[in-house]
Chains A and B, each alone.
Chain A
Amino acid sequence: MTRRLLQGSEAVADAAIVSGCRFFSGYPMLPFTELLEHMAKKLPSAGGVCINAESEIEAINMALGAAATGARAATGSCGQGLALMQEAIAEAALNELPLVVFNMARGQQDYFQATRGGGWGDYRTITLAPRDVEEAVAHTQLLFHLADLHRTPVLLYGDYVVAHTSVGIEVNRLELGPLPEKDWALDGTMSGTGRARQIWTWARGKPNTPGPGPDRAWKSIAEKYEEIARREARFEADAPEGTEVLVVSFGTTAPFVDRVVQELRTEGMRLGSFRPVTLWPFPGDALAEATKGCRLVLVYELNAGQMVDDVRIHAADRSAVRFIGGVSQDNSGMRQGDLLAVDALRDRVRQAIAELAPSGGSS
């Protein structure tokens, strides 16, 4: 057991390689850049290919092509670069191709981009938001598995903190269970047999092997996503019986929430915390359960209010939901600003509690 001091980006790269990733392409953009650098250094000697593409659009389309051959393929970016990749993410979904996208996000917690997507059609991406480097390593492996299992693009919601924090860690391969054969993969060998394979969003098939056409194909893909939503939601909650104030957050913001909840509990407040681990599928049922009886559901995210929409949809009592986050950037525009701090969060929680009309519960 040898732990090494690994930057999050390097640990994620190692996790991708032990998962069997053999194709990676990307365009430099902080804080995604280090992941590309580590893959450029390590993937070739692991028998894979890493390409510094000439644009984000190219990068994701190269990865899509590699994925079409059955290889485990990945790409990544953040912010504006990820915006460029939206078309291809949707295309991969409607092609039913497994593809892992590493979103090493900048300062704003861009929940909408990671869950609503700007692509086209009825598609989703399974999106995991780790709270720290250790979880990012586990999530990376899980994402390659889920992508293959469900034949869908998937997204890791990382960020500057995940990418740049170094911890002592050992990256071991996780056993995640059996997977179906990739009999749909293109390798040229079915050409000339009368039964050549085809990957086409319009799903019209070929004369010898007619396809379902776009209507039936896209309906069945939409149903597949409903099935994924039933099976793959994950969350973490610390909301014992009697919790009156629940603080909801995601990703690397969650440890700050946990710290404040612990502190305020020592003052007698009945606080709890909830964090979706999958941003999509959003663990709505679990949130509904955790918010039962809560007088306040405080949503702490570093943006102008994005996940709060999903919280309002599922909270047991919509009127209890308050947004206590905000846009917060540091000067470089790369990472979260002053709002990502225990003091700032503690103040906002206290203030929200103070504004609540007294009703005989603990204050």
Chain B
Amino acid sequence: MSATGSARGEPVAAFKPDLLQSSEHELCPGCGHPVAWRLVLEAIADLELSHRTVLVAGHGCYTQMMKLSDLDSLQCLHGRAPAVATGVKRMLPETAVVTLQGDGDMVSEGLHEVLHAGARGERVTALLFNNGVFGDTGGHLTATTVLGQRTKTSLEGRDPEVHGYPIDVARLLAQLDGTAYVARGAVNTAGLVARTGRMIRRALEFQMAGAGFTFVEVLTMCPTGWFVPTADGPDYLEESMMSTFGIGELKVPETSSDV
């Protein structure tokens, strides 16, 4: 049962974004991805980019978001989305190009690609749905799994002596001259949902203004991968992930104001 107590099958919201062909997804109860993705679709529509957007998606639970969305889409190889998006955007410079990856896809497999795309200042918007675990493969360690987190490949909890430390890719990207806008939000509270929605919108605006590489990381819930009860997901996210990954805009182009 979900935190609101609604029975399975009853929609929580009375409307769905236009850019969603169907809201019938198969993700776990309590998964943060649909909430985060909704924000993306709303931003695209609000900015009137509905007929000018191409999505490049990696491999993970969030691939379903690609499938359900009314966007010209390409699923690419694990980790490669920023490189693939580079090819797309260089051929379609007036089109909004968005990449969607999880932490395993971007920060484990694809660290090389995202850092280089950032350094090159590719005018795409890279989205990272970070739940600190490889959800789709059943709950394994990734490069953003926080210390102490139990996964199937860190059964006693992530131990720096054995598993090393998590990587804050947003902080790395913010240091590169080619990145224009770098932000991190979360979708575990209503307030953060709203704030994250604004971050995503700003990232897209900066892309279309040609400012450079834009990046929004969204901390999302994965109670299944975390081995916690569904209803505890939002609080667990705050306790476990937010101390490692702080919320806010890490970098904005010089002439803009903060969210």
Seen from chain A, the residues whose Cβ lies within 8 Å of a Cβ on chain B are: 22-23, 25, 49, 51, 53-55, 57-58, 61-71, 73, 87-88, 91, 95, 186-202, 204-208
Contact = CB atoms under 8 A, between A and B. Distances in A.
Interface in B90-113: 90-92, 95-96, 112-113
Contact of A54 (B70, B77, B112): B112
Nearest to A64: B84
Given A57-B83, A68-B88, A188-B52, A201 B75 contact: yes
B247 interface: no
* Interface of chain B, main secondary structure: mixed
Contacts of A23: 87, 90-91
Given A194-B21, A196-B70, A68 B87 contact: yes
11 contacts: A55-B112, A66-B91, A69-B87, A91-B77, A95-B74, A188-B54, A191-B54, A196-B70, A198-B67, A208-B21, A208-B70
Contact of B70 (A187, A199, A206): A206
Interface string B138-155: 000000000000000000
A202 B75 contact: yes
A285 B131 CA distance: 56
B77 A189 contact: no
Q: Which of B24, B53, B69, B83 has the most CB of A within 10 A?
A: B83
3 closest cross-chain pairs (CB), A and B: A65-B87, A192-B50, A66-B87
B80 interface: yes
A196 B73 contact: yes
Contacts, number: 156
B56 interface: yes
Contacts of B86: 51, 62, 65
Contact of A191 (B22, B56, B71, B91): B71
B73 A186 contact: yes
A192 B113 contact: no
B235 interface: no
Interface of B: 18-19, 21-22, 24, 45, 50-54, 56, 66-77, 80, 83-88, 90-92, 95-96, 112-113, 116
Given A57-B80, A61-B77, A61-B84, A197 B72 contact: yes
A49 B52 contact: no
Given A49-B90, A193-B51, A65 B76 contact: yes
A340 B74 CA distance: 45
A58 B54 contact: no
Contacts of B84: 61-62, 64-65, 68
A64 B85 CA distance: 9
Given A188-B51, A188-B95, A199 B75 contact: yes
B71 to A, nearest CB: 4
A73 B19 CA distance: 30
Given A65-B88, A196-B71, 19 more contacts: A22-B91, A23-B90, A49-B91, A57-B112, A61-B76, A61-B84, A65-B56, A65-B74, A69-B87, A69-B88, A186-B72, A186-B88, A187-B72, A188-B95, A191-B52, A198-B73, A199-B75, A202-B75, A208-B70
